[in-house]
Structure 1
Amino acid sequence: MKKMKYSSFLFALVVLLSGGCDGAKEKQHETLKDAFAGQFYIGTALNEWQITGKDTAAVNVVKEQFNAIVAENCMKSGEIQPEEGTFDFSLADPFVDFGEKNNLFTTGHCLIWHSQAPRWFFTDSLGNDVSRELLIQRMKTHIETVVGRYKGRIKGWDVVNEAIMEDGSFRNSKFYQIIGEDFIKLAFQFAHEADPDAELYYNDYNEWYPGKRDAIVQMVKKLKAEGIRIDAVGMQGHIGLDGPSLDDYEAAITAYTGAGVKVMITELDLSILPSPKPGDLSADIATNFEYRKEINPYADGLVPQEKQDEWDARMVDFFKLFLKHADAVSRVTLWGVSDRGSWKNDFPVRGRTDYPLLFDRNYEPKPVVAKICNESPL
């Protein structure tokens, strides 16, 4: 009997020390997608090197670990239509092909966004703002062309991105200045007409701020009342060690589902670095702070164990929250495959070294992966 117990102990120890999603519990999951099967899709964003197959290590991680993908940059309007009427699908096509070949839930990101939009979209030949009617027509043509090309192949679209400010007001973008708040309704309408079966999402950051949260809820309710399809709110999930609180994040999930839509965590990463401006969790890519050595403390790759433990615990807590609301959360997507390619290395301070994702710079799963997997009830 003692010999059997000792053998069982050795087996458990081997399991605990192994990689991937193995852990100390009797139930074992070899991958993230196995762990969360039946709960929600687990996904990642793909960059150019991964789409073209040059980053083979990352591609292998995607195939092994994830069952959903989103385009990081190649489907944004500035990339896909740099000049009026000239569409460039040279990266978008292989991105969609990769999703189909590997049976991945594929999301298009994003159709209408004030940032990374081509300048011509909003101006005439003299550089003046175009008329409301012409901007609406340009929106319609862009959406019809892009969504129509991938009709039945892309499962869901981030239709409108980051249109609301933290205080609940509309962002004063060119879309808003020229068209008014109706640009949101029109974008969803055009996307639905181009592919009636595709899911349609509104996507934003700091989506847990009460002012922004309440404004998004009202927007969703208004769209639904007007017969416009909207399936989910994308909560980007760019979080830090000092915020947001789990209570605030949960309140936002509950508020959005209460408005009659699903929730997707669409761009999850957790910065381990100190904020250059305490309390500022903005993900506005126009934000930029001057480099200072004290806000880049782990440039040599050596993160103190107590800080890593803090990071692990917070990431696990967020996955516990997603699992708690698995009836409402349909997808959790990391914004990148590994720390090596994360945008957080340069945002909001260029040249920093961050560690915000589940796989390290060598594409190996961090110990937190096993911890996350073992939270699955399966």
Structure 2
Amino acid sequence: MRTYKLLLLLPTLLLALFSCTAQKSKNTTLKDAYKDKFFIGTALNLDQIHGKDVQSVEIVKSQFSSIVAENCMKSMYLQPEEGKFFFDDADKFVEFGEKNKMFIIGHNLLWHSQAPRWFFTDKDGKNVTPEVLKERIKNHITTIVTHYKGRIQGWDVVNEAILDDGQYRKSKFYEILGEEFIPLAFQYAHEADPDAELYYNDYNEWFPGKREAIVKLVKTLKERGLRIDGIGMQSHLGIETPSLEEYEKAIITYSDLGLKASITELDVSALPSPWGTSANISDVNKYKKELDPYKTGLTPEAEKVWENRYLDLFKLYLKHQDRIRRVTLWGVTDLQSWKNDFPVRGRTDYPLLFDRNYKAKPVVQKLIDLTK
């Protein structure tokens, strides 16, 4: 008789258990779901760093376990004039991460873009000598990394130094110092904080020529006894490119060097790619309507395609979770994404996980469910 009563109660008990499990999954955040997989991060702008964008701040604190500064740690902001460092914004950024027990990334120490002109020129506007540039690089990196020693866990040491075909970018760093500026940067960063993780960060890291050049760079650094912990894969992706196969190959290639891959600037554009449409921006503008088809929101069909792209990517990240250190979104909501005006002014894009009203998109729960 007791067995019979238990059998009658079994469906009710199972339904209650299922409901409890479903509710628990619904209340789980991204950072909780991925805490045993890899860090899940986001980039912060100044309004978020200073607490002005309250709704974004609440999302960051509840959903993310890692942060990176979108702009305020780039050289033109940290040292706008030689010897005059401005740490106010960056200090607030680091304080935010510490207060919320986050994995903090410094971005970045050397980048040809958003670098102050004085870095490369003398009082007459001519290129400085290699010796002067070395000293300026050393002073810049040493001052910044020492300032945050023990507080920032990882640094993007050099950013975007290699072109898609594998050639070195002809930046002022390269023009004056050649390839040597990269090993020097890693050396100075390690000397300033021996415990900090050090990364090389770039985009289109799946292009064969660029991938091979990065592999060669890593081997050179290691042969010289210099520390490098990972490759930052920026991952500003489209719906179709890169293919999952070539993207996965890059992750595996860098991991096989003894490094961790970091997905550093992830966003997925739902808009048609303008590249290949025309080499002339004035011609591209003729196609503005075709390049900006979702002014008031994605269609259900477009949203489904976009969502599936994110799910496929995170399935890949989970497949290789032992090879990946962190996955960082480049922004919090669609409202603040740099993709809205790129490369055609006025474009409206939907590349991030939270919408313009600070609401989690349905894909967020689906990404959480992938970890179950």
Q: Would you say same fold, with TM above 0.5? A: yes
- Report matched runs for 1:22-171 at 5 Å: 22=26, 30-171=28-169
Verify: 1:299 aligned to 2:295, yes or no: yes
Counterpart code for 2:225: G
Decide whether aligned partners of structure 1 residues 187 and 298 sit closer, same or farther in structure 2, where only a CA change above 3 A counts: same
C-alpha contact (below 8 Å) 2:183/2:221 kept by paired residues: yes
Report which of the two structures shows the higher radius of gyration computed on alpha carbons: 2
Counterpart code for 2:235: G
Partner Cα separation in structure 1 for residue 284 and residue 258 of structure 2: 38
Partner Cα separation in structure 1 for residue 210 and residue 8 of structure 2: 60
2:3 aligns to what?
Answer: none
- Report matched runs for 1:235-250 at 5 Å: 235-250=233-248
Partner Cα separation in structure 2 for residue 144 and residue 289 of structure 1: 44
Deviation at 1:304, TM superposition (A): 1.1
Deviation at 1:299, TM superposition (A): 1.0
Verify: 1:346 aligned to 2:341, yes or no: yes
Give SS of 2:88's match.
Answer: coil
Partner Cα separation in structure 2 for residue 216 and residue 266 of structure 1: 16
Deviation at 1:9, TM superposition (A): 6.1
Give SS of 1:181's match.
Answer: helix
Decide whether aligned partners of structure 1 residues 32 and 92 sit closer, same or farther in structure 2, where only a CA change above 3 A counts: same
Percent same amino acid among aligned pairs?
Answer: 59
Verify: 1:272 aligned to 2:270, yes or no: yes
C-alpha contact (below 8 Å) 1:21/1:369 kept by paired residues: no
Partner Cα separation in structure 1 for residue 17 and residue 340 of structure 2: 39
Decide whether aligned partners of structure 1 residues 7 and 305 sit closer, same or farther in structure 2, where only a CA change above 3 A counts: farther
Decide whether aligned partners of structure 1 residues 356 and 15 sit closer, same or farther in structure 2, where only a CA change above 3 A counts: farther
Partner Cα separation in structure 1 for residue 184 and residue 323 of structure 2: 26
C-alpha contact (below 8 Å) 1:21/1:32 kept by paired residues: no
Partner Cα separation in structure 1 for residue 17 and residue 229 of structure 2: 45
Partner Cα separation in structure 1 for residue 360 and residue 25 of structure 2: 8
Unaligned runs of 5+ in 1: 23-28, 281-285
1:365 aligns to what?
Answer: 360
- Cα deviations across residues 192-218 of structure 1 (Å, max 9, x unaligned)? 011011000000000111110111011
Please, what is the CA RMSD of the aligned residues? 2.2
Name the TM-score, length of structure 2 as normaliser: 0.92
Partner Cα separation in structure 1 for residue 87 and residue 37 of structure 2: 33
1:206 aligns to what?
Answer: 204
> Relative CO higher for 1 or 2, CA cutoff 8 Å, sep ≥ 6?
1
Give SS of 1:241's match.
Answer: coil
Deviation at 1:366, TM superposition (A): 0.7
Which protein is richer in helix relative to its size? 2
Give SS of 2:157's match.
Answer: strand
Deviation at 1:293, TM superposition (A): 2.0
- Cα deviations across residues 276-301 of structure 1 (Å, max 9, x unaligned)? 12499xxxxx9x96471221111112
Decide whether aligned partners of structure 1 residues 95 and 355 sit closer, same or farther in structure 2, where only a CA change above 3 A counts: same
Partner Cα separation in structure 1 for residue 173 and residue 320 of structure 2: 34
C-alpha contact (below 8 Å) 1:151/1:194 kept by paired residues: yes
Give SS of 1:180's match.
Answer: helix
Deviation at 1:7, TM superposition (A): 8.6
Unaligned runs of 5+ in 2: 1-6
- Report matched runs for 1:242-261 at 5 Å: 242-261=240-259
Decide whether aligned partners of structure 1 residues 124 and 21 sit closer, same or farther in structure 2, where only a CA change above 3 A counts: farther
